[in-house]
Chains A and B, each alone.
Chain A
Amino acid sequence: MEEPAADVTVGVTNAVTEIAELSGRKLVDDNGQIIRPAQGDVGCDAYISTSSAGGGLQMMVAGVVREMTAASAKRAALGAGAIVMDVIASNDRRLPHEQIQRIRELRPDMILISGGTDGGTTSHVVQLAELIAPAKPQPRFGSEYRMPVIYAGNKEAVPIVEETFDKSVELSVVPNLRPVLERENLGPARDKIHDLFLEHVMAHAPGYDKLISWTDSPIMPTPGAVGDILRTIAEGQGINAVGVDIGGATTDVFSVFDGVFNRTVSANLGMSYSISNVCSEAGMPSILRWVHLEMDERELRNRVKNKMIRPTTIPQTLEALVFEQAVSREALRLAYQQHKEFATTLKGVQQQRTVGDTFSQNTSGQTIVDNMKLDLLVASGGVLSHAPRMVQTAAMLVDAFQPEGITTLAKDSIFMMPHLGVLAQVHSKAALEVFERDCLIYLGTCVAPKGQGQRGKPCFSYSIRSHALNELGEISCGELKQLPLADGEKAEITVEPARGFDCGAGKGKPVRKEIRGGTVGIILDGRGRELELSTKREQSVPAVTQWNQALDLYPESS
């Protein structure tokens, strides 16, 4: 959304025109309006939409002490999937006017203020509010938009803070994220950030009003729609599921474990706007370890930046595709890591910290994400949905998420999940039918025992029986193997892990399970968990080349 077409509806019209060209059906009239209702072979019955416009959430956080409340506020924002553009603290060595200038220049989507323990001194946090109020922070979209400011500080200061801000900001008050020094309560602030982003920030993208008037049902935020559909699948089948949607600016991860739903938006991990950030966070060597072809790092760095400044381009050559898929592995790995840190057993519960932890605040708490208990892993988003070969999608999923034990892999055929999420509101039967028939493409099943072993030593033995397949064999450590098992077929697998390896029943204990086939089939993964891959080229290139050949990932390159 930038000049000369700073309007979300321009993209919608372009997309509908494209569909019309491909389907040979007239869908848009001469005024650029979608023709509704359908009359003969012209127009369509309804237009519904999801939206991820806004390109990620960018926040500023403010706290009294940089190492304490400001750090907690930053964690709350990061937990909500925001990019933290700057941290303003009373002790950050900047003069007040420099801080104010910074707030103005950065045009954040939202500001989170914290500071002071409940019942403690109010003056410092009020000073912070007094600093931010005159800055009259201008958001990046539109002049009618009021900047959301969340106050999550000393509750005693609430009335004064409310008085400090005039009507030019949208002030929300949530419980203190640091009620006492040793305890953090990030949940309410994090949830508020999520809500405000979905309801408020995104809705102010240019042209959004017009788009609302076009649609036949309320526009749903893309992450919300994907989350709804995933939750429906998990609940319906009584399984644990993880879904991922990787986009240009953000990566959303959804999980349902033991009926508990969690969602994270990693606003700084994506394949175009945020690609450079993935490279800087993961480091170029971590990305290049997944690349078996020789590439010039200088050249690659330029390509990454060019993708960032021209986000709509697509890889044309095999080399470019291999590199993008390598970046996606790291983006997904980092996003899943953030998700695991966010989805903890203590979510929404006040997190207890000892006085000793006061100055070294790291996110802790037991994550409820357990790869061994994971039944279904669903891939969605451009780089995963549009990979030229299904096996590439499966490989990216397995390498990034590292499922343990026996896990079914699926992908969203053409990035349809969000649309079905919103279609379900209008026509649930149609949504369900499309979902079952066209949306989920089962890739197959991954079998990967947890544990580490010496390369070449036995990892596990297997026997697989179905009416089409009768295989038994052994997988050694470091080995990867693909067996065909068509979509719709089921097979019974018995896995006998070697000593020290666990496939779900405990170390060395055999597991028997019914598995489903798919377009890829069965991936037998003896590479161990955690999957270790060196960043040294002389070690990673032979390993990755071998894996790529085993799965026939890039036949053109061999």
Chain B
Amino acid sequence: MAHAYTPGLKVTNRVRHRTRRLLPLPGEVLAEIGSHVQAQDVVAQAFMPGDVSPINLSNALSLPPGDIPDIMTRKEGDVIEVGDVIAVTRGIFGFFKTDYKAKVAGKIETISKVTGQVIVRGEPMPVQVKAYLSGEVVEVLPQEGVAIENEVSLIQGIFGIGGETCGPIRMACESHNDKLTLEKITSEMKGAVVIGGARMTGEAVQRAIEVGAVAVVSGGMDDQDLRQILGYDLGVAITGSEKIGLTLIITEGFGDISMAAKTFELFKTREGDEASVNGSTQIRAGVMRPEIIIPLSESELASETESVHSSGMLDVGTTVRIIRDPWFGLIGSVTGLPTDPTTLGSGSKARVLDVKMESGETVTVPRANVELIEE
């Protein structure tokens, strides 16, 4: 027996999943331990200080800076509206007074007698964190956020772009081998997480953006389409902040490749259910994969059993997928594991295995070029 590369992607019909939702700055947590939240619920919010607008009153009223504090009609801490008079000059013998009307709204933060400047801070801006995952709040981190848990079906993709979103699962393809093409995207898919089969075409993604789908998930896609959608060539696989109108996830790889049958079937059983989707991917040590999380309903909770993740051992009879050309994406069964290194077509020597493919043909491929799959 020997080890084979497994991308370690989770495709499981039931697992207890936990997510942490934290504010970028200290604020107020709106959920309590034990409470049930929906994906779109705001669980924590903070107000960040508004924009600062300096007003140079000394210049505006042609007065020495030292006089400014004395002519202010509003003091530090006062809230002002646009048009409010905030300062009036003394004039000459009480006549020819000049006033200054605020051009911005906010709160007077400081009045400086050194520079003659008045600093007005705008309305605080709310920053909200949504639950993302429907479920139970299991931990509250005061001022920071919450941890949410739920029993879910979890599917990790191999690569994605775009951030968090949520919507109901909608199947667009009949089979895991069907290409996700333009005509399979309909206007009823507005707000939905669209599930395709094999490669998603660039036109299909474009159409999905037009109809307002929140995410598209399929087996593969062409890099050229990705480049067109993004508008640039992706260098390092660190994604998640793209703003292309939806989230894209591929479950298997680039090119014409079908979604794993198991993954497709899992989506099919969850059609109509609300899913939380995140395309963020970081392919480097400490990897981060895109995910589709579908919380289980009460009835599903009773019927589903937790799946067990298989370990990555390679043996005769094991089902593998070839993950490099010339047979990229093809599935077969291991028929031999020769010990000695073999010379490849490239001239390199490597340890290989024999794979009998679904077509009946047996091919020899480097051990490094297969991954184990559960079918």
Contact = CB atoms under 8 A, between A and B. Distances in A.
Interface of A: 1-5, 14, 21-22, 53-56, 58, 83, 85, 95-97, 100-102, 104-107, 134-135, 140-141, 205-206, 249, 268, 273-274, 276-277, 279-281, 297-299, 301-321, 386-389, 556
Contacts of A14: 3
Interface string B20-35: 0010111000000000
A246 B269 CA distance: 46
11 contacts: A21-B339, A85-B238, A96-B25, A141-B285, A206-B286, A273-B283, A276-B237, A280-B232, A301-B254, A316-B325, A388-B348
Nearest to B286: A140
Contacts of B344: 315-317
Nearest to A205: B285
Interface centre among B227, B325, B345 (most CB of A within 10 A): B325
B281 to A, nearest CB: 9
A308 B368 contact: no
Contact of A314 (B226, B234, B311, B324): B324
Contacts of A102: 241
Contacts of B368: 312-314
B350 interface: yes
B80 interface: no
Contacts of B365: 316
A77 to B, nearest CB: 14
Given A317-B346, A318-B347, A105 B284 contact: no
A85 B284 CA distance: 13
B348 A97 contact: no
Contacts of B232: 280
A85 B127 CA distance: 24
Given A306-B255, A309-B159, A105 B346 contact: no
Contacts of B48: 95-97
Given A316-B366, A321-B346, A3 B8 contact: yes
B287 to A, nearest CB: 4
B235 interface: yes
Contact of B236 (A276, A301, A318): A276
B223 A302 contact: yes
Contacts of A83: 236
Nearest to A272: B283
Contacts of A298: 222-224
Interface in B215-234: 222-224, 226-227, 232-234
A31 B283 CA distance: 31
Contacts of A55: 284-286
B3 to A, nearest CB: 5
Contact of A386 (B234, B286, B348): B348
A369 to B, nearest CB: 25
Given A301-B254, A314-B369, 12 more contacts: A21-B339, A58-B284, A102-B241, A106-B238, A134-B24, A276-B234, A281-B235, A303-B254, A303-B328, A314-B350, A320-B346, A388-B348
Given A1-B286, A321-B347, A313 B369 contact: yes
B347 A388 contact: yes
Given A301-B224, A306-B323, A318-B347, A100 B234 contact: no
B285 A277 contact: no
A316 B238 contact: no
A410 B254 CA distance: 37
B110 interface: no
A268 B234 CA distance: 12
Given A104-B22, A309-B254, A314 B235 contact: no
B354 to A, nearest CB: 13
B212 interface: no
A312 B48 CA distance: 45
A236 to B, nearest CB: 33
Interface residues of B, number: 62
B24 A100 contact: yes
Given A1-B286, A107-B282, A309-B253, A316 B236 contact: no
B43 interface: no
Contact of A299 (B22, B255, B366): B255
B234 A53 contact: no
B234 A2 contact: no
A3 B10 contact: yes
B125 interface: yes
A428 to B, nearest CB: 32
A310 B5 contact: yes
The 10 lowest CB-CB distance pairs between A and B, nearest first, are: A388-B347, A140-B286, A277-B235, A55-B285, A301-B223, A321-B346, A302-B255, A100-B24, A3-B8, A280-B233
Interface centre among A249, A305, A307 (most CB of B within 10 A): A305
A97 B127 contact: yes
B274 interface: no
Nearest to B255: A302
B285 A101 contact: no
A494 to B, nearest CB: 36
Nearest to A392: B347
B255 A388 contact: no
Nearest to B250: A309
Interface string B74-107: 0000000000000000000000000000000000
Contact of B286 (A141, A281, A305): A141
Interface string B183-222: 0000000000000000000000000000000000000001
B280 interface: yes
Contact of B284 (A56, A95, A301, A387): A56
B172 interface: no
A389 B348 CA distance: 8
B360 interface: no
A386 B234 CA distance: 28
B222 A95 contact: no
A85 B8 CA distance: 25
Contact of A309 (B158, B285, B328): B158
B297 interface: no
Nearest to A100: B24
A317 B283 contact: no
B25 A134 contact: yes
A320 B324 contact: yes
A302 B240 CA distance: 20
Interface string B146-173: 0000000000001100000000000000
A100 B344 CA distance: 50
B346 A388 contact: yes
Contacts of A95: 48, 125
Contacts of A106: 238
A313 B323 contact: yes
Contacts of A279: 233
A1 B22 contact: no
B16 interface: no
Contact of B222 (A134, A302, A311): A302
A317 B8 contact: no
Interface centre among A53, A105, A141, A309 (most CB of B within 10 A): A309
Given A102-B241, A310-B253, A4 B284 contact: no
Contacts of B59: none
Contact of A4 (B238, B254, B309): B309
Contacts of A316: 324-326, 344-346, 365-366, 369
Given A279-B233, A298-B224, A317 B238 contact: no
B65 interface: no
A56 B287 CA distance: 13
A313 B4 CA distance: 11
Contacts of B238: 58, 85, 106
A9 to B, nearest CB: 13
Contacts of B227: 301
B260 to A, nearest CB: 14
